[in-house]
């Protein structure tokens, strides 16, 4: 844990190196000091159909960080700050950058390892 999910407007792939951006989010989560490095999972989802306000050409990045419950609001804010600090230099071309931390419902979450990790 956590699951870092980056949703982004498709045209940003021409302005931002998405693989590098995934690494920046991942390193931000590592730099928070809240998780074991091996437990962090980061991925990006390209959104081809979207709208930002009234602007059909606006760009966005939304980063959702799903974590198991038990962290304090201060720890969650620290996590958001660590990720934001890591990615903000790369987002000057983005109209809307948003981040959120979501507690996973532990009773409705299952994890099965099949790769021997």
Q: Determine the average pLDDT of the residues in 18-37.
A: 97
pLDDT confidence bin for 17, thresholds 50/70/90: very high
* pLDDT (tens digit per residue) in 30-59: 999 999 999 999 999 999 998 888 866 789
Q: Cα separation of 31 and 76, whole Å? A: 13
Q: Where are the domains positioned within the chain?
A: 3-108
Q: Determine the average pLDDT of the residues in 7-18.
A: 96
Sign of CA dihedral 3, 31, 62, 78: positive
3-108 CATH? 3.30.429.10
pLDDT confidence bin for 28, thresholds 50/70/90: very high
**Per-residue model confidence (pLDDT) at position 116:** 61
Q: Cα separation of 65 and 34, whole Å? A: 12
Output the pTM of the full model: 0.92
In DSSP notation, 8-69 reads EEGGGGGTS-HHHHHHHHHHHHHHTTSS-GGG-EEEEEEESS--BTTBTT--EEEEEEEE-S
């Amino acid at each position: 844990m956590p699951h870092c999910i980056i949703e982004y407007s498709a045209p940003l792939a021409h302005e931002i190196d998405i693989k590098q951006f995934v690494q920046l989010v991942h390193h931000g989560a590592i730099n928070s000091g809240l998780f074991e490095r091996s437990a962090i999972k980061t991925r990006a989802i390209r959104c081809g159909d979207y709208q930002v306000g009234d602007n059909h050409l606006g760009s966005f990045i939304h980063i959702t960080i799903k974590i198991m419950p038990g962290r304090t609001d201060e720890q969650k804010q620290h996590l958001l700050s660590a990720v934001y600090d890591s990615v903000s230099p790369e987002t000057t071309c983005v109209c809307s950058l948003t981040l959120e931390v979501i507690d996973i419902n532990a009773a409705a979450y299952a994890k099965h390892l099949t790769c021997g990790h």
